[in-house]
Structure 1
Amino acid sequence: MKLKNYIITCSLVLLALNVNAQESTLKKADNKFDKYAFVDAASAYKELIEKGYHTDYATRKLADCYAYMRSPEKAVVYYKMAVQQEHVPIDYYYKYAQALRGIKDYKESRVWLEKFYNAGGTINESLYRKDGEFLNSIFNAEHQYFLEDVNFNSKLSEFGAYENNGNLYFVSSRDEGVAIKRKYAWNKEPFLDVYVTNKNALDSIKIDHSNKLKGKVNSVYHDGPITITNDGKTMYFSRTNFIKNTLSRDNSGISSLKIYKATLVDDSWTNIEELPFNDDTYSNGHPALSADGSKLYFASNMPGGFGGTDIYYVDIKNDGTFGKPQNLGSTVNTTKNERFPFVNNEGTLFFSSDGHHGLGLLDIFVAVTDANNGFVNVVNLGVPVNSSKDDFSFFVSDDGTSGYFASNRNGGLGSDDIYAFNRKLRIKLEGTIYDSENNVPLPNAVVTLMDANGKEIASFPSDENGAYEININRDTDYMVNISKDGYLNKTVPVSTKGLAPSVKNQTVDFTLQPIAKPEKDEPISDLGPIYFNFDSASVRNEDTTELDRIVDLMQNKYPEMTIEIQSHSDSRGPSSYNLVLSERRAKSTYDYLISKGINADRIESYKGYGEDKLVNGCDGTVKCSEKQHQQNRRTNFIIIKAK
């Protein structure tokens, strides 16, 4: 009996010791994770999974470790296990979807994005509903960027390539030729330093520790990337929160990124100063200057943003002081991460994001502005610049024909590699639209760019001065249609074939002829619109009264009137299907009028526009009522000639 009690006691002691050991491992893993030591944290979570201790939790955290280490191939394995768990936080649906995009499994990614959305997650609905169309447009678009090999990458990390005054600057963790290497716990690579070399000597020299930037910019922690003022005398750079040989941390023991500046003295960068808008409790990094040097752009996770890291700017005043950080707003920034801003010499902003519609992980985008320099849209740069992996730290030369970016895509030499590119510059088609009778500019005229076969490429309004502009490809034939209520449509061919490489702009002005107005004693009532049921092209019984009224006007009051039929759809369903559906609606409307005796010559055209001309904001990004969607399922009648 005593022996039995002894065995039981020993077993309980061993069990308690084992539980204590596993609890210690769990605390160690979480501590490493919280300190961004993801390599060590991953090892500890693996150990917990192997021993069956808090397996569900450890699986989720292990997946997160691999995601932070930018390894979607490994992350997707454990996220797949995580999303099968009962009561898993719905954020893991989104994380799994993003990891799937990282391995190019876009179809399955859309499945989990939809599950995330249906479970109450906040996401742009078009991110999965129109993802197939987005990918087709990206992969089938004509390339503007053509990649070139560079010979200065290492087996470790390089990014942040930046040209200034004939020199190429970049950051690297290579540390070749250095005996003592300090390693970063996040990925077990050495800390980043800033390197510089003569751009013209890249093909003839080996870059090692002797190419590190001279002066005091490089420290024992992360340094870079950088940007330099036009006069070449001031540098702004990212660095771990370290100055005067002191590493500072927040209350959790974490050292954030900060932005510093240095001045060039006798060919050496010195006089290191911290910028006043830094803070120990959040990170500021990835500085970029505007072309005139009056604004400093950067990425930050400071409080008050939209989520993750956002892009901000500060004004640099004439006396060298700085304004208050300004968030660039929701057109550029998302609830995820926007990083690595760059502004070219024309003031165009490029940046990386994993929150906008992309191919996977970080993609590079360009921000589109209106006439008042307000951000109105962002455009994915497409392939080959973007891939399913991280693509970031974009730079383009002053003439716009060459540049660099970084990526951890498959086929590279190291974890992050620098890629060079040549760019085929597009032509800016621009001009002004006028009234043909009084030669005044026409604002809000609709400009529709089409290919040589009449397929629509883009549609947009002229500005308040009647001006328009759009970038188009070289060596290509186009058609441009101009329309405005009260004016006759005009379509003209435009070609960029045969233009010299130096030509950057093509100006084409348009004049529109006003539609003749009826006599004052014979006002024409508004025609239509009529509406359609969801997913239907049949004329509704309740709309035949309006159609019969139009027939009466055309047959009895205005026997020479000619019209145009324009039909539309709501935004639900694929846009390609909606275009076909709207064309069917235009045809059924046309057929009805013809059946009532209207001569076909008096209907100048009948055309479907799909979901391109919505009358409200129901574009799939917001929830709308059926009544609101109904407003878009319509046919409009445009009077071309009244008498």
Structure 2
Amino acid sequence: MPRLILIFLISLSLSGVAQAQSVKRLLKTADKYYEHGFYYEAAINYKKAADITPDDLSITYKIGLAYLKSRYKHRAMPFLEEVYENTQDSTSTLVFHLGLAYQYNHQFEKALEYFHYYRKNAENTYTVDRHIRQCNIGIEYVNNPKNVEIRNLKKLNSDNQDYAPLITSDGKSLIFTSRREGSTGGKKAYDDNYYEDIYIVRRNKGDWLIPEKISTNINTHYHECGAAISPDGKTLFIYVDEGDGDIYFSTYQNKEWSVPLPVSQYVNSPYRELSVSVNQAGDELYFSSNRPGGFGGFDLYVSRKDRRGEWGPPENLGPKINTEADEDAPFIHPSGKSLFFSSKGHMGMGGYDIFQSRKYQGKWSTPINMGYPINTAQDDIYFVTSADNALGYYATAREDGMGGNDLYVINMKPKKAAPKPVAAAPVKNTTYFIGKVTDAGSGNPVAAELILSDNRKNIIIDRQYSDPSTGEFKISIPEGENFGLIVEAEGYLFYSTNFGADQLKGRKEIKRAIQLDKAVVGSVTILKNIFFDTGKASIKQESISELDRVHELLKANPNLKIQINGHTDNVGEADYNQKLSEQRAKAVASYLLQYGTTEAQVVAKGFGETRPLVSNDDEFGGREINRRTEIEILSVHEKIEEKKKGLLPTLTF
């Protein structure tokens, strides 16, 4: 063999070995990033490896998976599509992952195709059912956007991560956290990004100036994140990444911020405390923590100042606010009547969505999703608003971003453009549901929350309250096909009713007196929004909102045990009806168990046609009423000693 050819072949061999070693190093680095939760950084290194070996679909798949878990979830789609189009593995979790990618790109209809296909062979449908609901909600929200304008604060953002905006009460200063180049110490953390620093920027004549590091007393060589600013702008609360993460505070005196000190032994714990908000009076501190005793993940708590000015023992905000998943970034509005926060547990479009709860009679209401385009299928978090509600600020990762999470401003009250001439749209009918809520035993008025849901879309569309002195209420029901209404008050078993298209058509008002039964052993309520196909025990999608309410009831009262009662009419053989009622009751119980209810809390029993409420002689005034699902309270076990110590809440229904 000629010498030149031999040298050429040897060089090719060495090049191949070098490439293989390079790919191996890149994959090792990427796997390490992925293992430690730095998914974007993992995706970048997987992509470098894929550039060398573009035909390796296993690496392409890893790129997609890393993006799905990163702050750039929508970027996973082309990589997962490539794998799907070039493999026979169409029945595996690849189908589910591709559904996620379409969801995060707001291609909800296409995502639903893949989720439904995956669901056919899934052993546990909890996760895929949740994403199906998110896609249905996404379709509804995108088709009915809120009238807001959202703009990237490009002058403040960098090519790295910028987040956690804090606006002063006068609206003239914005404090935020950034991992941009030039951080204090100039060093990078394990994920190859700079350590967090806190910046402040001031507004002059309506325009933001150049951001500056807030203070050398606050920023160190490690992580500091702005958590809240007091109403007077003189106390800054900071998340400090020491131990598992605690909250510190710094005060502004003599034109300088003091060295941060820990907030309180009650607020800080051996676990993580992430975000903080302080009310206008400065005597309530809302924060998120993953300490034990909550409902799961990070929960929201409130700590109040005692007579000595110290923050006292925290109180969990309860099951209306907190879920089994994460709640974070609380913001208490200056009015004290609205609480904004981000949640992965309350139903939204995907990831963190921003929700609003209102305070009434000292209690927080059922949270309402703030809708699209404020919320997206990405993580939307750290929402704060100006005192006049004109502007909101938050952080999210979008395609028009400059890098990582960016800061955005929301014009909550944009000027309405002149309407274009269009053909007159048909006037939609609105029906008002009017009545009074009273105690079934005494007849006294009850202050209750009324929660209206669109069962077809599985979203909460309104919530109102009955007058505490009279029990009177009025809630509007839009034109539609299937609405469910829950009426609930503390200490009572909730009341459920349903409004169909036939009931609402052409009616201006529906009047009804609602009597709530005390939540005691033996209390029974009919679940008017649980639906089954004729002759079947499979639960229809329109039942989900009501089932979730039953789950919340059990979650809020872990010492409560209920029985699901199934009933039928008298059409058909008695044995068949008995079996069908048992199957339907078990289907409801199984749903609750699948979604986290403990087996000690729920049992199922079918009664067939043996317990009719009315005569079965006709359909709508008889058989329809007798076909029903109920919950019955079997027992309430509470330890009196613990309740006196405040370790167990009173029953909340």
Q: 1:380 to 1:70 in 2, by over 3 A?
A: same
The CA deviation at 1:286 is 2.0
The CA deviation at 1:45 is 3.6
Aligned to 1:134: 137
Tell whether the 8 Å contact from 2:64 to 2:79 is kept in structure 1 after alignment: yes
1:373 matched to 2:367: no
- Bigger drift between 141-150 and 347-356 goes to 141-150
1:168 matched to 2:157: no
1:384 matched to 2:373: yes
| Partner of residue 103 from structure 1, selected from 102, 105, 120 | 105
Q: Distance in 1 between matches of 2:374 and 2:45?
A: 36
The CA deviation at 1:233 is 3.7
1:119 matched to 2:122: yes
| Partner of residue 273 from structure 2, selected from 284, 296, 303 | 284
Q: Distance in 2 between matches of 1:374 and 1:449?
A: 16
CA RMSD after TM alignment: 6.1
Q: Distance in 2 between matches of 1:152 and 1:14?
A: 46
- Bigger drift between 134-143 and 387-396 goes to 134-143
The CA deviation at 1:382 is 0.6
Q: 1:621 to 1:533 in 2, by over 3 A?
A: closer
Within 5 A, what are the aligned runs for 1:287-436? 287-302=276-291, 308-344=297-333, 345-367=335-357, 371=361, 373-374=363-364, 377-415=366-404, 416-423=406-413, 433=436
Tell whether the 8 Å contact from 1:364 to 1:380 is kept in structure 2 after alignment: yes
Q: 1:103 to 1:235 in 2, by over 3 A?
A: same
Q: 1:104 to 1:154 in 2, by over 3 A?
A: same
Q: 1:86 to 1:412 in 2, by over 3 A?
A: closer
CA offsets, 1:501-534, max 9 Å, x none? Answer: xxxxxxxxx99799xxxxxxxxxxxxxx99x995
Partner SS, residue 363 of structure 2:
coil
Aligned to 1:67: 68
Aligned to 2:426: none
Q: Distance in 1 between matches of 2:446 and 2:379?
A: 41
Structure 2: tracts of 5 or more residues without a match: 1-13, 416-431, 454-459, 478-484, 488-494, 497-502, 516-526, 545-583, 595-602, 624-653
Q: Distance in 2 between matches of 1:373 and 1:460?
A: 13
1:41 matched to 2:55: no
CA offsets, 1:139-167, max 9 Å, x none? Answer: 34473544467564334343333222423
Tell whether the 8 Å contact from 2:437 to 2:448 is kept in structure 1 after alignment: no
1:194 matched to 2:206: no
The CA deviation at 1:314 is 3.6
Aligned length: 503
Q: Distance in 1 between matches of 2:512 and 2:15?
A: 91
| Partner of residue 255 from structure 2, selected from 267, 281, 284 | 267
Tell whether the 8 Å contact from 2:108 to 2:139 is kept in structure 1 after alignment: no
Q: Distance in 2 between matches of 1:434 and 1:36?
A: 50
Q: 1:442 to 1:94 in 2, by over 3 A?
A: farther
Q: Distance in 2 between matches of 1:130 and 1:118?
A: 18
Q: Distance in 2 between matches of 1:326 and 1:67?
A: 35
CA offsets, 1:93-133, max 9 Å, x none? Answer: 76554433211121233345453696244637864555565
Q: Distance in 1 between matches of 2:239 and 2:120?
A: 36
Q: 1:66 to 1:164 in 2, by over 3 A?
A: same
Aligned partner of 2:219: which letter? N
Partner SS, residue 395 of structure 1:
strand
Q: Distance in 2 between matches of 1:629 and 1:381?
A: 43
CA offsets, 1:475-518, max 9 Å, x none? Answer: xxxxxx9x999xxx999979xxxxxxxxxxxxxxx99799xxxx
* TM superposition score normalised by structure 2: 0.58
Tell whether the 8 Å contact from 1:257 to 1:282 is kept in structure 2 after alignment: yes
Partner SS, residue 99 of structure 1:
helix
Partner SS, residue 271 of structure 1:
coil
Percent of aligned positions that are identical: 21
Tell whether the 8 Å contact from 1:104 to 1:360 is kept in structure 2 after alignment: no
Tell whether the 8 Å contact from 2:396 to 2:408 is kept in structure 1 after alignment: yes
Partner SS, residue 126 of structure 2:
coil
The CA deviation at 1:394 is 1.0
Tell whether the 8 Å contact from 1:431 to 1:467 is kept in structure 2 after alignment: no
Q: 1:100 to 1:185 in 2, by over 3 A?
A: farther
Tell whether the 8 Å contact from 1:394 to 1:406 is kept in structure 2 after alignment: yes
Q: Distance in 1 between matches of 2:606 and 2:81?
A: 40
Q: Distance in 2 between matches of 1:154 and 1:34?
A: 29
The CA deviation at 1:620 is 10
| Partner of residue 572 from structure 1, selected from 524, 527, 540 | 540
Q: Distance in 1 between matches of 2:514 and 2:177?
A: 61
Q: 1:458 to 1:206 in 2, by over 3 A?
A: closer
Tell whether the 8 Å contact from 1:618 to 1:629 is kept in structure 2 after alignment: no
Q: Distance in 1 between matches of 2:449 and 2:378?
A: 38
Aligned partner of 2:253: which letter? V
Aligned to 1:226: 227
Q: Distance in 1 between matches of 2:328 and 2:514?
A: 48
Aligned to 2:241: 240
Q: Distance in 1 between matches of 2:587 and 2:62?
A: 39
Aligned partner of 1:225: which letter? G
The CA deviation at 1:40 is 4.8
The CA deviation at 1:296 is 2.5
Q: 1:400 to 1:296 in 2, by over 3 A?
A: same
Q: Tell which structure's C-alpha radius of gyration is larger.
A: 1
The CA deviation at 1:188 is 3.6
Q: Distance in 2 between matches of 1:62 and 1:533?
A: 42
Q: Distance in 1 between matches of 2:296 and 2:449?
A: 36
Aligned partner of 2:163: which letter? F
| Partner of residue 258 from structure 1, selected from 246, 257, 264 | 246
Q: 1:162 to 1:24 in 2, by over 3 A?
A: closer
Partner SS, residue 32 of structure 1:
helix
The CA deviation at 1:368 is 5.6
Tell whether the 8 Å contact from 1:446 to 1:459 is kept in structure 2 after alignment: yes
Q: 1:139 to 1:48 in 2, by over 3 A?
A: closer
CA offsets, 1:213-257, max 9 Å, x none? Answer: 24522223333233133444432122333xxxxxx6xxxxxxx54
The CA deviation at 1:272 is 1.0
The CA deviation at 1:269 is 1.4
The CA deviation at 1:393 is 1.3
CA offsets, 1:294-338, max 9 Å, x none? Answer: 332233444565555443444443434444555445543445443
The CA deviation at 1:381 is 0.6
Q: Distance in 2 between matches of 1:447 and 1:37?
A: 43
Aligned to 2:575: none
Q: Distance in 2 between matches of 1:109 and 1:267?
A: 54
Aligned to 1:541: none
Tell whether the 8 Å contact from 1:296 to 1:313 is kept in structure 2 after alignment: yes
Q: Distance in 2 between matches of 1:448 and 1:239?
A: 39
Tell whether the 8 Å contact from 2:19 to 2:52 is kept in structure 1 after alignment: no
